[in-house]
Amino acid sequence: MRLSTIFCRAALVAVVAMFGFAATSCSRLQPSVEDVLQLTVDQVNALTPIEVDEITRLDSASYGEPAQLRYHYTLSLDSLSATERDDMVAYMRKAIPDRIRAEEGTAELNAMGVTFVYLYVNPSGEPLFDIAFAPAEYAPIDSTEVE
How high is the mean pLDDT of the chain?
Answer: 82
Rounded CA separation 74/140 (Å):
30
CATH fold, domain 3-137, is: GMP Synthetase; Chain A, domain 3 (3.30.300)
The set of residues, in sequence order, having a beta carbon less than 8 Å from that of 30 and lying 6+ positions away, is none
Rounded CA separation 5/10 (Å):
9
% of the chain residues with pLDDT over 90: 53
Give the residue among 86, 77, 70 at the shortest CA–CA distance from 11. Answer: 70
5 pLDDT band, cuts 50/70/90, is very low
Tell me the pLDDT tens digit for each residue of 11-26. 555 555 555 555 554 4
Report, as an integer, the average pLDDT of 38-61: 94
Q: Are 70 and 62 in contact (CB under 8 A)?
A: yes
Q: Are 128 and 79 in contact (CB under 8 A)?
A: yes
What's the pLDDT at 16?
54
Tell me the pLDDT tens digit for each residue of 60-88. 999 998 899 999 999 999 999 999 999 99
Cα 53 to chain center, whole Å? 16
User: What is the reported pTM?
Assistant: 0.76
Rounded CA separation 13/111 (Å):
22
